[in-house]
Amino acid sequence: MENTQDKIQYWKGLNDLNPSPEHEESKKKEFAEPIPLDAFVESIGLKKVSPRRDFLKSLGFGVGAATLAACSKAPVHKAIPYLIKPEEITPGVSNYYTSSFEGYSILVKTREGRPIKIEGNPACPISKGGVDAPGQASVLGLYDSGKLKVPMVQGANSTWSDLDSFVMEKLEGFKKNNQAIRIVSSSINSPSTKKAIGEFLNAYPNAKWIQYEPISYSAISQANKNSFDKEVIPSYHFENADIIVGVNADFLGSWLSPVEFTRQYTSKRAAKALESKKMSLHFQFETGMSLTGSNADYRFAIKPSLEGPVLLALYNEIAKLSGVSGIALGSKFELPQEAIQKTAKALVGAKGKSLVVCGSNDVSIQILTNAINSLLDNYGNTIDLVNYSLQKSSNDAEFMDMVKSMNQGNIQGIIFYGVNPVYDFGDSKTFQEGLKKVSLKVSLSDRLDETATLCDVIGPDQHFLEAWNDIQTKSNLMAIQQPTINPIFDSRTAQQNFLNWAYFSEHKMGTAVASTPVDSAASKTDSTKLSALPSAGKPMEYVDFLKSHWETSLFAQMGKSGNFVENWEELLRKGFIESPSQASSNIHFSKDLGPVAQTIEKNAENSAGNFEVQLYQSVAIRDGKYSNNPWLLELPDPVTKVTWDNFIAISLKSCHELKLKDGDMVTVEINGVKEIFPVLVQPGQAYGTGSIALGYGRTAVGKAGNLVGKNAYPLINLVNGSFQYHNKANLIPGASGYEFARTQDHDTIEGRSMTKETILTEYIKNPFAGSGRTDKEEEKADAWDEFPKKGHHWGMTIDLNACTGCGACIVACNAENNVAVVGKDEVHRRREMHWLRIDRYYSFNDESGAHTKESDLKDLDKKGLLDKMENVSVFYQPMLCQHCDHAPCETVCPVLATMHSSEGLNMQIYNRCFGTRYCANNCPYKVRRFNWFKYFDNDQFDYQMNDDLGKMVLNPDVTVRSRGVMEKCTFCVQRIQAGKLEAKIAGQPLEDGQVKTACQQTCPANAIVFGDINDHNSEVSKLLKNERTYYVLDELGVRPGIGYLTKVRNRELVFNEAKPESL
Amino acid sequence: MEHISYIREPLITGEGVTYSQITDEVLKPVEGPPTTKWLIGFAVSFAFFCIWCLAIGDTFWNGIGEWGLNKTVGWAWDITGFVWWVGIGHAGTLISAVLLLFRQNWRNSINRSAEAMTIFAVICAATYIFGHMGRPWLFYWIFPLPNTFGSLWVNFNSPLVWDAFAISTYFTVSLVFWYIGLIPDLASIRDRAKGISQKIYSIASFGWRGTAREWLRFEAVSLILAALATPLVLSVHSIVSSDFATSLIPGWHTTIFPPYFVAGAIFSGFGMVQTLLIIAREALNLKKYITIEHIETMNRILILTGSIVGVAYGTEFFIAWYSGSEYEQYHFFYTRAQGPYWWAWVMMISCNVITPQLLWIKKIRTSIMATWILSIFVNIGMWFERFVIIVLSLHRDFIPSSWAMFYPTMVDMGVFFGSIGLFMTMFLLFIKFAPSIAMAEVKLLLKNGSEQAKKLMHPEEGAHHGAKEGVIIAATTLGIKEKDHE
């Protein structure tokens, strides 16, 4: 069929039907009428005809511009300028504020209103300017995005006013029915917090306050109560002790107050003490190789159950030497008699100038320790019970009673403040069972931690850098904690909560008022509630409460009279206030030790076994409170150099007997509780023992810390209402092949000369002893021209006798220089980015001298030398860029990305580096670090630099390095520049000590000294002239800029003496 | 000018080979459709090439962290691969330039492939130079460039800068030399080709007509380029060795490196030539042109250079002992043979020093299979030599705390094995589109050998020919060319 449609012709006008020539013509044009384009173009001053060149120009420009514009996404910059500049803030200039952390005063460095670094407060009598690793890392905790952003009520996000209403309703109910309320807090030494809690306790007579610490020191205070009727922890003075004896007390690493003790300890051992040819003598009896034990002159490995028997034997030995009658002993233990005799002899020879400390949490052992110290006349000299310490105050028995009554259903309300017993209480299961019977569970934690997840109400606490508080570390010392930033999230301090709830109760308010000065809009919009409030007023702000407390009583208590405002400002400026210490009297122990000895022996027998496990705090993670801090997780353990993990450290001999090796998994069974840990063979570990670090294996702490390591708290032994950190155990071997992320896995020095040490007697005879130098300066052959050394020439010295190896410097360096955290896998691949590391070497303590070769460690079992591995010495050596004058890295860089500055610095120019890594290969010290990946904004490295909040901690003075470039220690060149500028503005020459590197600033041991070598009066110049000073790998002729001061051990044998001739 | 020889053995074997037969046979793979063998080979090579693309793409996208390197071992498979490929690239230039200058006519059958091998090996080496950089997009910073910031200069003290100049010069000269040698042969293909390929070959052959003047210039340019390339054979690997020798790492810091590396390079280069030519000879049916004579001669070079390398190893040990340097002694007497990588050292010694000594035996030297296996040993041994030098020296240097092991990742392996795929892909494409034997030069050899010698080699063939003993066939280069143009 034909399609008729195709044939139809349409026409649209008559012109189409009868086309005229004009119409035909007009059809060819686009527009019916001509558009006066030319006239228009001319009217705006352009040529009618576009020349070819112009066309090409426009075309070129157009294409070029379009291409360029398409090249990159236009970056969105979010910068908010100060509308009104705060008076004290100058952009680009840091402000420092005093505050305090864990018992000592600090300075907080802030930039443009955000705290970015913790510095030691040099005036603080506790720390004397030192800060430990957790202190350095604490600033990162402020920017932890894992914290709660708003309060939570019954599992849902809420507001503070709703939270207050909810809590108040319950609390009032309990009060009415006289049902028990408990506040469970960590050690509180803040006088104002105590007062705030006191207000709450006043308002609720049915409430009781319990202090709980997972790592308990309650035995010490209980023992002092028993011995001297003073329930306090004394102040220890290691700086007055010539003989120091530690029994499982890691006082340099984690015990009680490590920053304070490190300062005291090294003051008797470092350069200044040695100049007067004196040095303290340190004996350590311990189970695992602790940081303290690794620094001891004599270290004796004992099973943890022998802590008590060793002290008993020591007491008897001292008594014998002092002509006092000893204690009659019942049982026999296998004890290191020779060591005990030697120790006792030394102690008796230094009566009144010695100190015995024990880390046990057994009251009877602590009583015995008191008796020994009393026998040695140490009270009033090295132990001060008058100006006592308030650093730790907890009571195990009270807490365990509470758990009991909780399980009996006798407690209705519980408020957790700064504690996490679901995670860190030994019998967490019972605790959780009991918790279910509590009708109001309030957690004042800053995050949804293990305990908070089981609570009805979570009122996020503030970070210490956001909040006002005060602390009282010693009976005669108080320090202030001032906020350095507005609270980041909708948080409220615990103290404010206590004040509010007390106030509401007293004023019979069932509901809330405006809660905090920085309360979010959320609660303010809740206007119906606000207007419904009675006009009785508001609870006091905690800051006002704190101020009035200082005004009314604390200043007076500290012996400070006069104008409050002046005093207050001085306090803020100085950070702390110290009242003159009272004369400390010599107290004598006069109790009968018979029953004590019996208890000790009984406990020792009960916990003794073929294999015993000891639980300890690691230097970085401590009790687990800071487990979400990637800086701390990546800080290598000082002794084992393991990062991101805990493990069971076992001696080689035990491993051989149990057929275990490094990386085997083993099930540890204590009292029926089983936990699996990887095995790490540890030199120095006592035979038949295993040591496990607490604080790991968190499940609800945050993205960095969750499931790192295993939780060892369930293995805690609960004996007679106290926490005991050791017990006999069964080991059941399991799978093998676990790999640790260690930053060092070669532990011997191979007979090389980078570590130099001597013994005190040799040093006294010849100060050059062990340093490989003599009093004649040798002329060194040199293939290179000498650089002119004009102006400043920066240099450093590190006193190996002061350095304890704690690693605070590493974290300080990370914080100062924006060093990336790379995570466990990357550390395992030996790619940690730390600019500063601490090398650790072991050597055998035996007469044969240096046994430090890998080959010596082979087949120890066949040679029957497994015992040797228990008796080892440790050598720590901080290693960072040596800023060599003839740097081998500089000659090989093809693009001159690493060069020498006129001030003796070896500089790294990140912009110019394209990453051949030749410099790192050619560095004999292996201190250069390569950016294998992009470590920021990269989900593979989900730490602070992949987090908008976490990035707030970055130091704006230091570039964040991009992928593919080399980086390394710069001697904190930004601090040098800042110091020089400051001096220039002041019109003064730069003073020695005005510029301190971050590692030097934080070092609690004062081991690092930095300064201008060209200034002959500078401390560093003087130390470089010290007889002990030597340079590492001096024989290579690279002219390193860091002098190391030979380590001096106070003992008889010469170990590992550096041999001048090779092989 | 006449070459009269009673004893010279013919360099082209086979019966009644004519000039046109040479052209036909050599161009058969180029003109014909791809053979199954070629296709299989290409498919495998291309698969490896794809692996290389993935591995290098991953490296570029995510960073060098994809490799197994660490803070202690900053170079490993990357620079091992780089030096290995550069070494392989050495035989080509040696064969084409040095042997040309020395009038070693036997080279004519193998120089083309060897030169191509050089080019491709240097390309593979260059991929490692870019690939191993942290920020490869800035590679051009290695050259002194004019810039607006004042004197932003490169560090002429750094051997990496010397490397950049040495490798780029070597590559350029080798490429030009190779291409100029290709021109007459490309013209031959052009003359026989049709359609689009004729056009392409026409452009590629630069309008070569084969006039006497052109041949004269061709010869002159070849000689000049040979003279230019000859010092490069020595310089390139000397400079590559400086990457190590000028540093202070024990095991690197060694003055013997330049001659030792050059000998090693020639050794590995000839090893690779053997490996590839024996395959090509089989696959492309070129037995007439690549004879046992060639293989045996190259085996002799392998014995010589292998022994030089062996002596160099010994010298290192002697100097380590003699120097008294604790670190050197530890490295040579402990790390190498007893350290955790002892097996790499054993591989190096056995493949480079021990097995090549078997070539002293004539039977092995003239056995195709034995030669091929031994040549692969050489390739493996020379890879391990570089691995031993680079990784063993770095993984235990001065300060024991930083000592670390190197474990390669899948990406490391992908880049290395993939680079072999890259090389083979380029090589197979080359033998598909260009003559793998320099036809023009081989034709010179056709009447170069003595019939008497030929007869002595194959008495029955001689009888068949009916040639009498004592008949001398004289051939002159010029004479052959004249005949060739008939």
> What sections of A180-217 are H helices per DSSP?
191-203
pLDDT at A301: 93
Strand order in the sheet with A104-111: A95-101, A104-111, A114-120
- Residue A6 pLDDT greater than 80, yes or no: no
Q: Is A831–B71 a contact, with Cβ atoms under 8 angstroms apart?
A: yes
Q: Is A926–B330 a contact, with Cβ atoms under 8 angstroms apart?
A: no
Nearest CA in chain A to B157: A891
For residues B237 and B260, membership in a common domain is answered with yes
Tokens of B352: 């480079």
Residue type, position A916, single letter: T
Which has the minimum average pLDDT: A829-833, B204-208, B466-470? Answer: B466-470
- The ipTM of this complex is 0.89
Task: State the average pLDDT over residues A839-861.
Answer: 76
The band of A2, judged by pLDDT with boundaries at 50, 70 and 90, is: low
Number of domains comprising chain B: 2
Residue with tokens 């300017």: A129
For residues B144 and B280, membership in a common domain is answered with yes
Q: Does A492 touch chain B (CB under 8 A)?
A: no
The band of B101, judged by pLDDT with boundaries at 50, 70 and 90, is: confident
- Nearest Cα of chain A lies from the Cα of B399 at a distance, in angstroms, of 6
Q: What is the mean pLDDT of chain A?
A: 89
Q: Does A893 touch chain B (CB under 8 A)?
A: yes
**Which residue did the predictor score with more confidence, B472 or A890?**
A890
Q: Is A914–B158 a contact, with Cβ atoms under 8 angstroms apart?
A: no
- Residue A637 pLDDT greater than 50, yes or no: yes
Q: How many helices (H) and strands (E) are present in chain A, helices listed first?
A: 35, 42
pLDDT at B472: 37
Secondary structure E strands in A340-483:
354-358, 383-389, 411-417, 440-443, 457-458, 469-474, 477-481
Q: Is B155–A891 a contact, with Cβ atoms under 8 angstroms apart?
A: yes
Instruction: Pick from A641, A926, A1035 the residue to mutate for testing the B interface (most B CBs within 10 Å).
Output: A926
- Residue A368 pLDDT greater than 90, yes or no: yes
pLDDT at A1054: 46
Instruction: Pick from A826, A921, A1062 the residue to mutate for testing the B interface (most B CBs within 10 Å).
Output: A921
pLDDT at B462: 43
Residue A75 CA: distances (Å) to CA of A78, A957, B398? 10, 22, 46
| Chain A 812-831, residues with CB within 8 Å of chain B CB atoms | 826, 829-831
| Of the candidates A144, A90, A149, A141, the residue with the CA atom closest to the CA atom of residue A118 | A141
Model pLDDT for residues A573-588, shown as the tens digit of each residue: 999 999 988 887 778 8
Say how far apart CA A289 and CA A875 lie, in whole Å: 13
pLDDT at B193: 87
Of A912, A913, A924, the CB nearest to B398: A924
Model pLDDT for residues A285-300, shown as the tens digit of each residue: 999 999 999 999 999 9
Say how far apart CA A8 and CA B430 lie, in whole Å: 65
CA distance from start to end of chain A: 110
- Residue B481 pLDDT greater than 60, yes or no: no
A1032: which DSSP letter?
T
**Cβ atoms A215, A624 nearer than 8 A:** no
The band of A863, judged by pLDDT with boundaries at 50, 70 and 90, is: confident
Instruction: Pick from B156, B402, B409 the residue to mutate for testing the A interface (most A CBs within 10 Å).
Output: B402
Q: Is A926–B72 a contact, with Cβ atoms under 8 angstroms apart?
A: yes
Q: Is B400–A913 a contact, with Cβ atoms under 8 angstroms apart?
A: no
Residues of A in Cβ contact (< 8 Å) with B401? 744, 746, 837, 839-841, 877, 879
- Residue B145 pLDDT greater than 90, yes or no: no
Task: State the average pLDDT over residues A270-280.
Answer: 90
Residue with tokens 């030497």: A321
Task: State the average pLDDT over residues A224-239.
Answer: 93
- Residue A1055 pLDDT greater than 70, yes or no: no
Instruction: Pick from B399, B405, B406, B410 the residue to mutate for testing the A interface (most A CBs within 10 Å).
Output: B399
| Of the candidates A146, A119, A116, A140, the residue with the CA atom closest to the CA atom of residue A130 | A119
| Of the candidates B441, B355, B366, the residue with the CA atom closest to the CA atom of residue B111 | B441
- How many beta carbons lie within 10 A of that of residue A325, not counting itself? 8
Residues of A in Cβ contact (< 8 Å) with B139? 914
pLDDT at A583: 81
Say how far apart CA B90 and CA B174 lie, in whole Å: 10
Q: Is A895–B134 a contact, with Cβ atoms under 8 angstroms apart?
A: no
Residue B43 CA: distances (Å) to CA of A807, A958, B40, B285, B420? 56, 51, 5, 20, 13
pLDDT at B10: 66
Residues of A in Cβ contact (< 8 Å) with B244? none
pLDDT at A435: 94
Residues of B in Cβ contact (< 8 Å) with A754? 398-399
pLDDT at B382: 94
Nearest CA in chain A to B139: A914
Domain boundaries, position B464: 1-17+450-486
| Of the candidates A589, A639, A598, the residue with the CA atom closest to the CA atom of residue A618 | A639
Nearest CA in chain B to A749: B400
Residues of A in Cβ contact (< 8 Å) with B157? 891-892
For residues B294 and B437, membership in a common domain is answered with yes
pLDDT at B416: 95
Model pLDDT for residues A381-430, shown as the tens digit of each residue: 999 999 999 988 889 999 999 999 999 999 999 999 999 999 999 999 99
For residues B262 and B311, membership in a common domain is answered with yes
For residues B352 and B455, membership in a common domain is answered with no
For residues B48 and B97, membership in a common domain is answered with yes
- Residue A505 pLDDT greater than 50, yes or no: yes
- Nearest Cα of chain B lies from the Cα of A911 at a distance, in angstroms, of 11
Say how far apart CA B155 and CA A294 lie, in whole Å: 46
Residue with tokens 């009976």: A475
Model pLDDT for residues A893-915, shown as the tens digit of each residue: 999 999 999 999 999 999 999 99
A648: which DSSP letter?
E
Torsion, Cα A262 A264 A268 A271, to 10 degrees, reads: 60
Task: Name the 3-class secondary structure at A386.
Answer: strand
Residues 6+ apart with CB under 8 A from B68: A829, B76, B77, B406, B407, B408, B409, B412
Task: Name the 3-class secondary structure at A829.
Answer: coil
* Long-range pairs for A895-902: beta carbons < 8 A, 24 or more residues apart: A895/B141, A895/B142, A895/B154, A895/B155, A896/B153, A896/B154, A896/B155, A897/A965, A897/A966, A898/A966, A900/A787, A902/A790, A902/A791
Q: What is the mean pLDDT of chain B?
A: 86
Percent above pLDDT 70 for chain A: 95
| Of the candidates B348, B347, B316, B349, the residue with the CA atom closest to the CA atom of residue B333 | B316
Instruction: Give the burial string for B255-294 (b: 16+ CB within 10 Å, else e).
Output: ebbbbbbbbbbbbbbbbbbbbbbbebbebbebebbbbbbb
| Of the candidates A613, A606, A713, A610, the residue with the CA atom closest to the CA atom of residue A666 | A613
Q: Is A752–B398 a contact, with Cβ atoms under 8 angstroms apart?
A: yes
Residues of B in Cβ contact (< 8 Å) with A835? none
For residues B8 and B23, membership in a common domain is answered with no
Residues of A in Cβ contact (< 8 Å) with B164? 894
Pair type for strands A457-458 and A440-443? parallel
Say how far apart CA B129 and CA B110 lie, in whole Å: 28
Model pLDDT for residues A157-202, shown as the tens digit of each residue: 999 999 999 999 999 999 999 999 999 999 999 999 999 999 999 9
pLDDT at B452: 53
pLDDT at B5: 54
Task: State the average pLDDT over residues A617-622.
Answer: 92
**Which residue did the predictor score with more confidence, B108 or B300?**
B300
Residues of B in Cβ contact (< 8 Å) with A748? 400
- Residue B349 pLDDT greater than 90, yes or no: yes
Strand order in the sheet with A354-358: A298-301, A281-286, A243-247, A354-358
pLDDT at A866: 84
Residue B279 CA: distances (Å) to CA of A840, B24, B274, B275, B371? 55, 20, 8, 7, 12
Say how far apart CA B336 and CA B313 lie, in whole Å: 11
Q: Is A924–B397 a contact, with Cβ atoms under 8 angstroms apart?
A: yes
For residues B153 and B272, membership in a common domain is answered with yes
Say how far apart CA A726 and CA A694 lie, in whole Å: 12
Task: State the average pLDDT over residues A939-965.
Answer: 93
Percent above pLDDT 70 for chain B: 88
Nearest CA in chain B to A893: B158
Give the count of Cβ contacts less than 8 A between chain A and B: 165
pLDDT at A522: 41
**Which residue did the predictor score with more confidence, A385 or B480?**
A385
- Residue A139 pLDDT greater than 90, yes or no: yes
For residues B231 and B274, membership in a common domain is answered with yes
Q: Is B135–A914 a contact, with Cβ atoms under 8 angstroms apart?
A: yes
Say how far apart CA A105 and CA A575 lie, in whole Å: 6
Task: Name the 3-class secondary structure at B392.
Answer: helix
Say how far apart CA A380 and CA A389 lie, in whole Å: 14
- Residue B141 pLDDT greater than 70, yes or no: yes
Nearest CA in chain B to A939: B62
Q: Is A929–B160 a contact, with Cβ atoms under 8 angstroms apart?
A: no
Say how far apart CA B334 and CA A879 lie, in whole Å: 25
**Cβ atoms A248, A284 nearer than 8 A:** no
Query: Residue B423 belongs to what H/E stretch?
Result: helix B410-433
- Nearest Cα of chain A lies from the Cα of B127 at a distance, in angstroms, of 14
The band of A29, judged by pLDDT with boundaries at 50, 70 and 90, is: confident
Q: Is B248–A1033 a contact, with Cβ atoms under 8 angstroms apart?
A: no
Say how far apart CA A145 and CA A930 lie, in whole Å: 28
The band of B465, judged by pLDDT with boundaries at 50, 70 and 90, is: very low
- Nearest Cα of chain B lies from the Cα of A1036 at a distance, in angstroms, of 8
For residues B418 and B428, membership in a common domain is answered with yes
pLDDT at B486: 36
The band of A329, judged by pLDDT with boundaries at 50, 70 and 90, is: confident
Tokens of A997: 């590197």
Residue type, position A719, single letter: V
> What sections of A473-585 are H helices per DSSP?
494-506, 521-524, 527-531, 542-549, 555-557, 564-574
Model pLDDT for residues B225-258, shown as the tens digit of each residue: 988 888 888 889 999 999 999 999 999 999 999 9
**Cβ atoms A906, A883 nearer than 8 A:** yes
Rounded to two decimals, the pTM is: 0.88
Q: Does A900 touch chain B (CB under 8 A)?
A: no
Say how far apart CA A623 and CA A617 lie, in whole Å: 6
Nearest CA in chain B to A1037: B248
- Nearest Cα of chain A lies from the Cα of B162 at a distance, in angstroms, of 9
The band of A851, judged by pLDDT with boundaries at 50, 70 and 90, is: low
pLDDT at A588: 87
Residue with tokens 């943890």: A304
**Which residue did the predictor score with more confidence, B445 or B101?**
B101
Residues of A in Cβ contact (< 8 Å) with B243? 918
Q: Is B135–A964 a contact, with Cβ atoms under 8 angstroms apart?
A: yes
- Nearest Cα of chain A lies from the Cα of B261 at a distance, in angstroms, of 19
**Cβ atoms A827, A643 nearer than 8 A:** yes
Q: Which residues pair with A930 in a beta bridge?
A: A966
CATH of the domain at B185: 1.20.1630.10
Which has the minimum average pLDDT: A480-484, A724-728, B269-273, B451-455? Answer: B451-455
| Of the candidates B404, B398, B384, the residue with the CA atom closest to the CA atom of residue B340 | B404
Model pLDDT for residues B163-177, shown as the tens digit of each residue: 999 999 999 999 999
For residues B355 and B478, membership in a common domain is answered with no
- Nearest Cα of chain B lies from the Cα of A848 at a distance, in angstroms, of 21
Residues of B in Cβ contact (< 8 Å) with A840? 401
For residues B480 and B433, membership in a common domain is answered with no
Of A929, A932, A966, the CB nearest to B65: A932
Q: Is B71–A893 a contact, with Cβ atoms under 8 angstroms apart?
A: no
Residue A866 CA: distances (Å) to CA of A75, A687, A854, B110? 63, 10, 15, 64
Say how far apart CA A266 and CA A1006 lie, in whole Å: 8
The band of A528, judged by pLDDT with boundaries at 50, 70 and 90, is: very low
Residues of A in Cβ contact (< 8 Å) with B69? 917, 930, 932
- Nearest Cα of chain A lies from the Cα of B240 at a distance, in angstroms, of 13
- Residue A514 pLDDT greater than 60, yes or no: no
